[in-house]
Amino acid sequence: MVYRLEIPKDKTFDSSIALLREGYRFIPNRRRKFQSDIFEVTLMGQKTICISGPEAAKVFYDEKKFKRRNAPPRRIRKSLFGDGGVQTLDDAAHRERKSLVMSLFTEEYIETLKQLTANEWDAVVNKWITMEEINLFQETKKVMCRIACKWSGVPIKDEKIEKLANELWALVDSFGAVGVRHWQGRIARKTLDRLIENMIHQLRAGKLYAERGTALYEIAWHKDVNGKLLDEKVAAVEVINILRPIVAISLYVLFGALALHAHPKEKEKLNNGGVEYTRMFTQEVRRYYPFTPFTGARVRENFYWAGHHFLKNQLVILDVYGMNHDERIWQRPSEFRPERFKDKHLKAYDFIPQGGGDFHLNHRCAGELVTITVMEKSFEFLTNKITYTVPKQNLQISGVRMPPMINSGFIIKNVERLKNV
């Protein structure tokens, strides 16, 4: 088939530096400049097609058109993802592995997570009330890490939690980085793979106990369609696929705290609005604040869409962040307004902060419900279980750093336990 370029093309020789410079605005900036939901750029020496919008997302999640094998660059596999995990599988192998991951999240297991989240937050208050000031990001990472380990059945001594939390965060923190921050992610990946692989080994040898139903137990004992246990290295990657993103939720919790500070009326609305308002607030945090910039896949077989011949093996990236701020989907997208989710009939591909499509068939985030559950319980804690003050500090978020960070880490002071607890 002849390659007919009918879409706008960024003439820059290689836009990798521009991606680092523009961060989350990279695709939206060009979408606006080209007035097109599809355009071509060169990234790390590769022709890459950028697509945006619900129609594009629908095509992107069509498994007949796209595959994930060889889509994530080596630098992501060596840090954020690890080798051999569900993210890089296709077809039957993907469905089989994804069903293992999805089968973990039963109603009962999610209920345990709710309880654990409430308990772990409750457990920090006695310490917080004695502290001069609290760096919410540093503290939240540890809380999330304790939740992740206890919930997953990963036995870790309390004195090791801080180190583990930092290593799991280093994986997340490396995804959009070059230099030191990226290498910290790679080093953490090696350490964590070894740690969890050893646990899988011990568990299988009967030298370590994990409760049935926990992620560690179920992944360690999972047999594939051929009746074989997962390779220990791959099993470790899948356990880390549960631990790492729970620690990543720290950032959403931090953004929720920032939203509560920037919009003081939200606290009252959360306290009076019941579960319905808490859900709307949580959704708005996931929409408004940047986290996933985009996700990528490779073309499976040549096909034609939106005036473009997609060629086999071509890299295509879907604009996730830009869609959360697309004025064609959201009215006044730059306003933080949880009420927008009230009675909003979202179509299947309108809101995909953690990927789209079907949980079982596509690569949509397996942990969306886990994320929402932990966020909701965390916001309940911040608004209903404690009071605190927020001193003057630099609360800027860089729109360039991927993942983003609040400059000060979000400092709180004068924590008090609310009497009704």
CB of 364 to ligand HEM, least distance (A): 6
Check if the beta carbon of residue 87 is closer than 8 Å to that of residue 68. Answer: yes
**Calculated CA dihedral for residues 197, 292, 404, 162, nearest 10 degrees:** -20
Distance CA 240, CA 238 (A): 5
Mark 216-255 with x for binding to ligand HEM (rule: CB under 6 A) and - for no binding: -------------------------xx--xx-xx--x---
Tokens found for residue 306: 């939106």
Name 46's bridge partners.
43
What is the per-residue binding string for ligand HEM in 336-375, x denoting contact by CB under 6 A? Answer: ------------------xx-------xxxxx--xx----
To the nearest whole angstrom, how small is the minimum distance from the Cβ of residue 32 to ligand HEM?
23
Cβ-in-10-Å burial (0-12, 13-18, 19+) of 116 comes to: middle
From CA 129, how far away is CA 415, in angstroms rounded?
5
Secondary structure letter of residue 397 according to DSSP:
B
Decide whether 367 or 415 has the Cβ nearer to ligand HEM.
367
Supply the minimum distance, in Å, between the C-beta of residue 237 and ligand HEM: 10
Q: How far is the CB of 333 from ligand HEM (least distance, A)?
A: 18
The closest of 416, 374, 128, 68 to 246, measured between CA atoms, is: 374
What is the nearest approach in angstroms of ligand HEM to the Cβ of residue 85? 7
- In 21-39, which positions are buried (b, 16+ CB within 10 angstroms) versus exposed (e)? ebbbbbbbebbeebebbbb
Nearest distance from C-beta of residue 387 to ligand HEM, angstroms: 26
Task: Using CB positions, name the residue nearest to ligand HEM.
Answer: 367
Q: Which is nearer to ligand HEM, 25 or 244 (CB)?
A: 244
Q: Output 176 or 355, the one with its CB closest to ligand HEM.
A: 355
Rounded to whole angstroms, what are the CA distances from 7 to 10, 50, 51, 272? 10, 10, 11, 50
Q: Restricting to residues 256-295, which ones interact with ligand HEM according to CB under 6 A?
A: 291-292, 295
Shortest distance, position 97 Cβ to ligand HEM, whole Å: 8
Query: Considering beta carbons, is residue 11 or 347 the nearer one to ligand HEM?
Result: 347
Nearer to ligand HEM, 85 or 338 (CB): 85
Nearest to 219 by CA among 203, 235, 232, 243: 235
Q: Which is nearer to ligand HEM, 129 or 405 (CB)?
A: 405
Do 154 and 196 form a contact (C-beta atoms < 8 A)?
Answer: yes
Min dist CB 262 to ligand HEM, Å, is 20
Interface positions, 291-330, toward ligand HEM (CB under 6 A): 291-292, 295
Cα 238 versus chain centre, distance: 15
- Which residues, numbered 74-93, are part of the site for ligand HEM (CB under 6 A)? 86-87
User: Residues interacting with ligand HEM, by CB under 6 A?
Assistant: 86-87, 98, 101, 241-242, 245-246, 248-249, 252, 291-292, 295, 354-355, 363-367, 370-371
